[in-house]
Structure 1
Amino acid sequence: MRKSLVVFFTLVLMFPVPLLFGQSPVKIAVVGLTHSHVNWILGREAKGDVEIVGIVEPDNALANRLMSRHNLSEELLYPDMESLFSAVKPEAVTAFGSIYQHLEVVEACAPRGIHVMVEKPLAVSMEHAKKMADLARKHQIHLLTNYETTWYASNHEVKKQLKDNVIGPVRRVIVNDGHEGPMEIGVNQEFLDWLTDPVLNGGGAVIDFGCYGANLMTWLMDGQKPISVTAELKQIKPDIYPKVDDEATILLEYPNTQGVIQASWNWPFSRKDMEVYGKTGYLLAKNNTLLLSRKEGQKQEKAENLSPRENPYNDPFSYLAAVVRGKIKVEADDLSSLENNLVVVEILDAAKESAKKGKRIYLK
């Protein structure tokens, strides 16, 4: 008996758990390589839960550079989605092209029954988002949106404590997301070309970083839409970003809560954090695992270092695989859900309209 246990645990260490128990990895295709977040999946440690069966990228120089960096076979590369689908049948696709191209990906995948995960945000506009949602629902595919902050243990602890009424009713939420600017931090040129294009990205910092706050705020409010959206967009560096905003402040009005989204390409350092103020205390999610808090009766702030979330809730591709295999049911108020991210795009559309017209925009 003891020898059998030793053999079992030796196998667990040698092989990924899904393979050990006969679960085949989910076949995934990567469509587009221009988004620098694509390195997240190309360089991902093999866990046995997903297998890349194809990569679509018409830019051969870019494809060769990235695939060589990650030791991926040239045989995986296809010039377009039609070529890919005629050769292989992925179960899911991860989209890493421009936000404008998300609609095209869903139009190709949904009728084939292929699930889709896009990088944030869901779409460049509500026009695109509604078409994508209609296709996903008609063909009964999962359409998920990935944000880095979805996997933060600190954010989920904040949500848990709000549910437990630890700091009372939420009065104000401030979400801060930004960095020095895409040019300043040295993103690859292929990414920069569309990230700073008002059509291909839908805007500048308001889209790139404003979506994080809209996603988190909608989640904290259990899917509730804001009553109104008020925004100010600025071009602090028009010489670098002549076509889009590089600074955005968005105010969200709820019956008893105010949301403040601060999105920037002008900060001295990169940051992704969230401040939640309730009637009897506050919770500050400073990064992935650090949570600061002060509650009624406490004389000083408390710091707590949380453990990272457990698989498959710590990684977008493990999560995608679990969803495709039916191990996780995506609820409407989840961070990755279609329902949440339709509200996100509606907020971003309203923010752009508010800044353009110089007035508050009421949501229908």
Structure 2
Amino acid sequence: MIKNHLVTIFIVMITTSFYAQQKQVGLGVVGLSHGHVGWILGREDFGDVALVGIVETDLELAKRLAKEYNFSMDLVFETIDEMVAAKNPEAIAAFGNIYEHLAVVEFCAPKGIHVMVEKPLAVSLDHAKKMEELARKHKIHLLTNYETSWYPSNVRAKEILTNGTIGELRKVIVRDGHRGPKNIGVNKEFLEWLTDPVLNGGGAIMDFGCYGANLLTWLHKGKKPNSVTAVTQQLQAENNPRVDDDATIILTYDESMAILQPSWNWPMGRKDMELYGTLGAVYADDRNQFRLRMAEGYDGFKEETFNLEERRSPFDDPFALFAAVILGELRLEPYDPYSLENNIISMEILDAAVQSAKKGETIYVK
């Protein structure tokens, strides 16, 4: 018993020593109005990221969240200049509206501060290109966080496509969305800019169309579509008077096509993807449930269902991944969903979709 007790103490000492020596990335948060900000405010301390400062001009919002997540108002600054001067963060996570992403990068890039924004990268292709130029000029990491990047089901789908199990890819269908921001009860600060065509760049077409654009660019290893055709509707004018709330986007590639269905009109929240090949299909039904269906005869098939385990760190958490990239412990694969090169192409797709919906015509991608 004494021996076992000593072994336990030894293990605890080694573990404690490891975390004490582990390099932490000092992270600043700019903006608190994004509904996803709880991911960092309520995150456990894993020893990889230290929240050093917050920028928020709405002090009532900051106080409300400070009470909810138990952080000190001493961390809160009214300007990014003040926070960076006082706290010297190595990285910034942007949790304000999408229009502000460009301003965050304009401030951070010349100072060598790495940036991660919530999806999508920007409100427009013009903003995205300016951000790309700054990131490359000043050699900072500029990542975009998509929840679907963490999904084991999406990773398995790409593995099966790559190894040829379902044959050559012919069609992709991606469906994302929920009942709408107001209907699901997002906070008022989030709702104000989500339904603003300037601050969000559009409605559902931007908010959820970006997921499909991002996944398609990843699946196609950076290959752009030949054409983009989009139709939008406003089915909840009382809730979303200034933006679309339903969209269908059709993309053509040389040997396949894709259909994206971003919507604020689904009866339930969803983020799912279907890949159809010449031999079979895969269904990433949600984060963990995955189905493989192989064709048999005319309309027969054999289907297997898998409940997948979560991915291993740092691929199960955006901040762990951000820290690993900054510290040089991880190098993203080409056109990874988080990567800048992926998200520039994703913005080209979204830009073409918005143009197509406005003009009522197909946009051919250069």
Mark the CA change 1:329 to 1:18 in structure 2 (over 3 Å): closer, same or farther.
Answer: farther
* Separation in 1, partners of 2:18, 2:231: 48
Mark the CA change 1:296 to 1:145 in structure 2 (over 3 Å): closer, same or farther.
Answer: same
Alignment of 1:42 onto 2:44: no
Aligned to 1:129: 128
Aligned to 1:238: 237
Alpha-carbon deviation of 1:331? 3.0
Alpha-carbon deviation of 1:9? 2.6
Aligned to 2:285: 286
* Separation in 1, partners of 2:278, 2:53: 51
Alignment of 1:1-364 (within 5 A): 5-11=7-13, 15=16, 19-20=19-20, 22-297=21-296, 299-364=301-366
Alpha-carbon deviation of 1:2? 7.0
* Separation in 1, partners of 2:237, 2:295: 46
Matched residue of 2:358: which SS?
A: helix
* Separation in 2, partners of 1:354, 1:261: 14
Matched residue of 1:90: which SS?
A: coil
The 8 Å contact of residues 332 and 338 in structure 1, kept in 2 or not, is answered as no
Amino acid at match of 1:183: K
Output the TM-score relative to the length of structure 1. Answer: 0.96
Deviation per residue, 1:61-84 (Å, 9 max, x gap): 000101111110111100010111
The 8 Å contact of residues 18 and 24 in structure 1, kept in 2 or not, is answered as no
Alpha-carbon deviation of 1:10? 2.9
Alpha-carbon deviation of 1:136? 0.2
How many residues are paired up?
361
The 8 Å contact of residues 295 and 302 in structure 2, kept in 1 or not, is answered as no
Structure 2 gap segments, 5+ residues each: none
Alpha-carbon deviation of 1:299? 4.0
* Separation in 2, partners of 1:130, 1:38: 25
Amino acid at match of 2:91: A
The 8 Å contact of residues 233 and 244 in structure 2, kept in 1 or not, is answered as yes
Taking only the aligned residue pairs, the percentage that are identical comes to 54
* Separation in 2, partners of 1:201, 1:123: 8
* Separation in 2, partners of 1:228, 1:296: 29
Deviation per residue, 1:88-110 (Å, 9 max, x gap): 11010000000000000000100
Matched residue of 1:197: which SS?
A: coil
The 8 Å contact of residues 203 and 245 in structure 1, kept in 2 or not, is answered as yes
Mark the CA change 1:277 to 1:87 in structure 2 (over 3 Å): closer, same or farther.
Answer: same
Matched residue of 1:127: which SS?
A: helix
The 8 Å contact of residues 31 and 56 in structure 1, kept in 2 or not, is answered as yes
Amino acid at match of 2:19: L
Q: Which stretch shifts more, 1-10 or 213-222?
A: 1-10
Matched residue of 1:302: which SS?
A: strand
Mark the CA change 1:313 to 1:18 in structure 2 (over 3 Å): closer, same or farther.
Answer: farther
Alpha-carbon deviation of 1:238? 1.3
The 8 Å contact of residues 103 and 132 in structure 1, kept in 2 or not, is answered as yes
Deviation per residue, 1:138-197 (Å, 9 max, x gap): 000000000000000000011111111110111000000010000000000000000000
* Separation in 1, partners of 2:37, 2:129: 25
Matched residue of 2:275: which SS?
A: strand
